[in-house]
A and B are shown apart, each in its own frame.
Chain A
């Protein structure tokens, strides 16, 4: 090896070492929080919305002194809306950035995929979106700011019965969120005296629901309960009305997302759905104002949950909980944290017990509270 090539090798090695240290986990004056969210892919709105809320929270936290004088930073990893993507994102964060807490994931299937990893690595997982009921049993390190679908299913079943529909047809998607909600709804609705006439399924990303709709009306249901995401729900409603099906539709929280109204247009009018309550306290109003000033449109419920997830994290970190196990303990002891989504108190399963679901509908293209 010539002297020159030796020098080259040495300089390259130095550069590599420098590059590696530059992206090593939190330096002395910085504290890192991970975020594993679907920033691209078919359910990207479950990642992009919380991300926008988290950006506002991050600015607020650092403007008010960071974490006891240290700067807080968030490292994002894209989960692509899939279980595999979530595992990759989690492992990248856990191996490279080593944060004590990861905010995520988005779709329930992602959180279900990485829950065990969070426990094994003693990294707290705090989801601002995932609502599948099964997440309650993932273990001590898994928390979420959104209420479980077990509550949503129960409330929806009561609402359908109160509206006078003792028999319904059900439509759902082959996703963890949708099947879990469908299963809980079916069990609760039947236990309350209702009867399911027909159950139809479709795939996430499906575009044509006409044949499923034809099957559902075959059983002459007085109403249809459809656990579909925003995109699929919008298409389904549009196609139902185009087929001349005028039955009332009930749905779940994704119908609050703008995509649903954009695709369905006038077909969305009058649909009824449940969604985590949009809290309207002073914290929520302040958050909404900041969001509108920054992004030009009003925040959806997941942006507020992203904001709260990071604020909650900063709150316990400021009180000295800096490692995964310390944050886990601090979350369990936390009582009545007030944020943009209202009051957060966790139960033994890491579920919020303090946030209700509310009844909503769409009137003149706007999401409004349902009035009897």
Chain B
């Protein structure tokens, strides 16, 4: 399976995603510069974390105008998997591929921490290897991860099972204390209507190896690879 890892100016988790895909999961992977016009030949696109364009103006707001985003839209339209992690999630909301917005954390500070997320929907291309209701330990590292959407959108997301991960206690209880950033309904990851575009604030690529203290994100990549869409 061949992954495209998009590199925007200011992306800084591109190497980490590449390492996970290439060395942990032994898949093909390329860095794709944000000026690329086509994503032909790839089976999955990852928009990695970082600070594209320095997060200036608003997180993801400038990156979404990068030339490659046209190709990302096309790619998504074909039903192929697109995974936006952290800044990648922010870019996907700015680009309109996912609803809602990521606001400044409720505590106004950057938070780097390992958190627990509960798998709300395991019937997606990104989570099928998890059991529904399973709790995974995956790190977060962001200043703007406070997911917000209007009540109607939230209702739709919930109703359509599009909330994929929710911040929870290690036991799986979704509580206010377990919500690190103030996200509505403890939302940590969502998918689009077709289910092939996921945005997640937690970093699964940082939780794929025992050596790093957690393998809670391993099943995200496992799922993607297992569900590889036919070319």
Same complex for A and B? Answer no
B residues contacting A by CB (< 8 A) are none
Residues of A participating in the B interface, judged by any CB pair closer than 8 Å: none
